[in-house]
Amino acid sequence: MLGTLRDRRLLWPGLAALAGLALLISLGNWQMQRLAWKDGLIAAIADRAHAEPVPLAAAEERAARGEDVEYTRVAVAGHFVNDREMHLYALDDVHGPGFHVITPLRLGDGSMVLVNRGFVPNDLKDPARRGAGRLSGVVKVTGLLRHPDTQGMFDPPNDAARNIWYWRDIDAMAAAAAGPEAARVHRSIIDAEADPAVPGGWPKGGTTRLELPNRHLEYALTWYGLAAALVAVFVVFAVGRWRQPITK
C-alpha cells in the first residue's frame, strides 16, 4: 500500500521528466543530423573551390539543371569596364574597413559578368589613387562563382547614387553595370582569386572565406548534457520523495 502511494507521488513528475528527456535527446539527435549535413556541405564546397576551373557557361548550365554551383571555380576572359566599378563595403582582418571593388567584365559575346576584384582600404577607394591596377586590354580571370545576397536585417540600404553598396543586390548592380547600351549581365558574381601580378598591388583578390560556421557538435553535446542532467536531477528528486513519510 505504501509503495503504491509513493509510486503515485512520482507518476506525474516522472512523466514530465520522461517527456523532457525525449525532447532533449531528439534535439541532440537533430543536431547530429545537421552536423552530418554541414560536414557534407563543407566537403562539397571545398571540392568545387579547388577543382579545375570551368567556363562560366558550363557552370550556368549546371545551375539551370538544379545543381548547386556556388563556389564553383570558373575562368572567363574579357575587358574590364573600369568606369563602372562598384564599391561594396567590407572589413579586412589586416587593413580594417574598406571596399571590395566589383567591376563589370565584358565578355566576347557582349554580355557582362560582375567580378569582385578584391579589397582596397578606405584611402584607395578613389580609382584615381590606384590607376595602375585598373587593367585594360583582354584579361583572364579565375575565381569562385557566388550567388547574390539578400538584404540582412541589419544591412543598410545600398546607395547606388554614391556608389556605395552594403550587400550584393544583383538586380541593382546589373542595372548599374549594363550602361546605356543595356548589356546583358549574368546573375552571378565571380570572386577573383589573388593575383600578385596586379600592378600596384590593389585590389587584393582572394577575399572569399570558405569557412562555414559548424557548431552542431557543440550544440548536440549541450542537449545531451542537459538530458543527462535532467536524469540526475530526477533521480535525486525521486529518492528524496521516496524517503519522505506519507501523510494521510
Instruction: Indicate the domain borders of the chain.
Output: 2-45+213-243, 72-201
Per-residue pLDDT, averaged over 110-114, amounts to 95
The 8-class DSSP code of residue 4 comes to H
Q: How many CB atoms lie within 10 A of CB 221?
A: 13
Q: Are 205 and 193 in contact (CB under 8 A)?
A: yes
Q: Are 125 and 99 in contact (CB under 8 A)?
A: yes
Instruction: Give the tens place of pLDDT for each residue, 20-53.
Output: 999 999 999 999 999 999 999 999 999 999 999 9
Question: pTM to 2 decimals?
Answer: 0.79
Strand partners, 91: 97
Give the strand pairing for 86-92 and 96-107.
Answer: antiparallel
Inter-CA distances, 243 with 7, 12, 238, Å: 12, 17, 9
Better-scored residue on pLDDT, 124 or 182: 124
Burial of 43 (0-12, 13-18, 19+ CB in 10 A): exposed
1 confidence band (pLDDT: 50, 70, 90): very low
Instruction: Give the tens place of pLDDT for each residue, 115-150.
Output: 999 999 998 998 888 888 888 889 999 999 998 888
